[in-house]
Amino acid sequence: MPSPSRPADARVPAARRVVFVDGVRTPFGRARKDGLYAHTRADDLAVRTVRELLRRHPQLPPERVDDVALAATTQQGDQGLTLGRTVAMLAGLPTTVPGFAIDRMCAGAMTAVTTTASAIGFGAQDVTIAGGVEHMGHHPMGFDADPNPRFLAERLVAPDALNMGVTAENLHDRFPSLTRERADAYGVASQAKYAAALAAGKIEPDLVPVALRDPEQGWGLATADEPPRPGTTVEAIAGLPTPFRPGGRVTAGTAAPLTDGAAACLLAAEDVATELGLPVRMRLVAFAFAGVEPEVMGIGPVPATHKALERAGLSIDDIGLFEINEAFAVQVLSFLDAFGIADDDPRVNPYGGAIAVGHPLASSGVRLMTQLARQFEEHPEVRYGITTMCVGLGQGGTVIWENPHFSVEEDAR
């Protein structure tokens, strides 16, 4: 019997550099019955961001998009039904472009980015769209959730671990140096920094207007964020109630408001971006996710950042800009203390953060990246930046980016 022929060796692609081409988001609205998007579908918000990315980059043939990954924390109703695929079709991408949905709670969009970036780096894809949407007005956090009773019966988590506000109070308990006074000051600073960035024209370029239709008031157009409270003072928020614990320290002034909104970005292999004439606004260096005790969920960015820095061969001193999601002020402060960074360090959230602008859960990761990309353009002396966030049930995620505008001459000044 003749011997079978030797099978051919598989062609394994070499790793490629992944770049952030562009990112956009809708204006963020307050999640309430009279909020900006009370009569707007979640998937339509996501469609608007995808269409805007394609409009801004006509040199990208739509059929060159290899995948669309979109996240939502509550995958039901108008933000369910395999979002990546449905939004791709609704946005007008060819039916040959696939898509999928993803959920890592608050880090949904961040995970959509790292997942599709991994496929690009491996050589399985060339161009992807990644992002997330959360309509917390239509789908309140935890709505219809049914946590397995074993979590409590087997004491896998403490009873308060499923309430994000209580986990923030737990951080105050665990680290006495994280006082309410520091948190109040940080919350006020976030509002002030956002207001300054808005006045300087640094917010609007990344926003995509959204058409609105109110059954009573007719048509309108969303062009600005609804949640910010400019002029907020420490004195004003010092008297706010503490809804998560009597005599607690977490208030509406030091927590991100419930928010509706969507964000999406365009990723590509660097050689493909060059081929297509797409801009390179950031280069992906490393990323990591880590788990922590769910009771102190907000500390999650600390081990995630340690892990990402180690993988990149960098130290915290190499990072020139930080975009930290402000789920709660105490969560950001715990990160700053862990790395010896001052509360008012100008490298941290230069445009303000979620306490001011809002936190539509699964979309916020791309908002952080989009803001960091714009800051890189302003700071050629900075080589590396970080986007990081805490995640429900005790997780953290961190992505390290390189500034393509980095100049050794600027760094030496």
Residues with catalytic function: 106, 359, 390
Q: Distance between CA atoms of 171 and 330, rounded to whole angstroms?
A: 7
Could you please report the per-residue DSSP string of 216-280?
TTEEEEE-S-SS--TT--HHHHHT---TTSTT-S--GGGBPPPEEEEEEEEEEEHHHHHHHT---
Kindly list the distances between the CA atom of residue 55 and the CA atoms of 97, 218, 269, 355, in Å, as whole numbers in the listed order.
17, 27, 20, 31
Neighbours of 381 (CB within 10 A): 16
Q: Distance between CA atoms of 383 and 375, rounded to whole angstroms?
A: 11
What SS3 state is found at 402? strand
- Whether residue 393 contacts residue 141, with contact meaning beta carbons closer than 8 Å, is answered with no
Nearest alpha-carbon partner for 172 in 301, 391, 333: 333
| Phi (first) and psi of residue 12, to 5 degrees | -95, 120
Kindly list the distances between the CA atom of residue 156 and the CA atoms of 27, 147, 294, 299, in Å, as whole numbers in the listed order.
39, 12, 9, 18
